[in-house]
Amino acid sequence: MTENTHTDGRHDFDFFHGHWRTRNRKLADVLDRDCTTWVEFDSTLRCEPVLGGLGNVEPFSAPAMPPSGDPLEAMTLRLFDPRTGNWRIWWISARQPGLLDDNPMEGRFNGKHGEFFAVEIINGEEVRVKWDWDDLGPQGALWEQRFSYDDGVTWHLNWSSAHTRSD
């Protein structure tokens, strides 16, 4: 029996390979559930496949991230598990060097929309985290992060990134 590599999910993020300019809109403090102040900033990133398509890496650079205005260098690592059909996603930041979260986001795509979930402890409280990915076609993509403080009954948007292809 031959494995069908085109329908098992390992190519779900192929649409995101390449260089992107990103317009970010996020709450000034995403960890403060009462924050209502939104900030915007630009960033660039490059997504490249690794491990024969079973994963990808995405270095991210923001020259001035509000509210501090300090630059931010970070990276996303995504790995596909053909046994489960799920992706695991880690976010690694220069602000926390040497730290690779042992609780990655996990999920999959259904068509051009992907949903990824994790549970984090934020300010001593268990919070459900959801990442939505949308393939908007050859020139665009959208990523959004939401938190739920009520076990997934309601979701609060706290970060949105609109990507425009730059290669």
Where is average pLDDT lowest: 4-18, 48-62, 107-121?
4-18
**Cβ neighbours, 10 Å, residue 54:** 15
Q: What is the pLDDT of residue 98?
A: 59
Domain span at residue 31 reads 14-165
Mean pLDDT value across the chain: 91
**Residue 9 falls inside a structural domain:** no
Query: CATH no. for residue 45?
Result: 2.40.128.20
3-state SS class at 52:
helix
Checking if the pLDDT of 68 tops 50, the result is yes
Q: Do the Cβ atoms of 61 and 44 come closer than 8 Å?
A: yes
Q: In the chain, what percentage of residues exceed pLDDT 90?
A: 81
Q: Do the Cβ atoms of 40 and 27 come closer than 8 Å?
A: no
pLDDT (tens digit per residue) in 96-154: 655 667 789 999 999 999 999 999 988 899 999 999 999 999 899 999 999 999 999 99
**Residue 22 falls inside a structural domain:** yes
**Residue 20 falls inside a structural domain:** yes
- C-alpha dihedral sign at 149, 97, 65, 91: negative
What pTM was computed for the model?
A: 0.90
**Residue 4 falls inside a structural domain:** no
Q: Do the Cβ atoms of 166 and 20 come closer than 8 Å?
A: yes
**Residue 96 falls inside a structural domain:** yes
**Residue 129 falls inside a structural domain:** yes
**Residue 66 falls inside a structural domain:** yes
Q: What is the pLDDT of residue 97?
A: 58
Q: In the chain, what percentage of residues exceed pLDDT 70?
A: 92
Q: How many domains does the chain have?
A: 1
**Residue 72 falls inside a structural domain:** yes
Q: What is the pLDDT of residue 99?
A: 60
Where is average pLDDT lowest: 5-14, 84-93, 120-129?
5-14
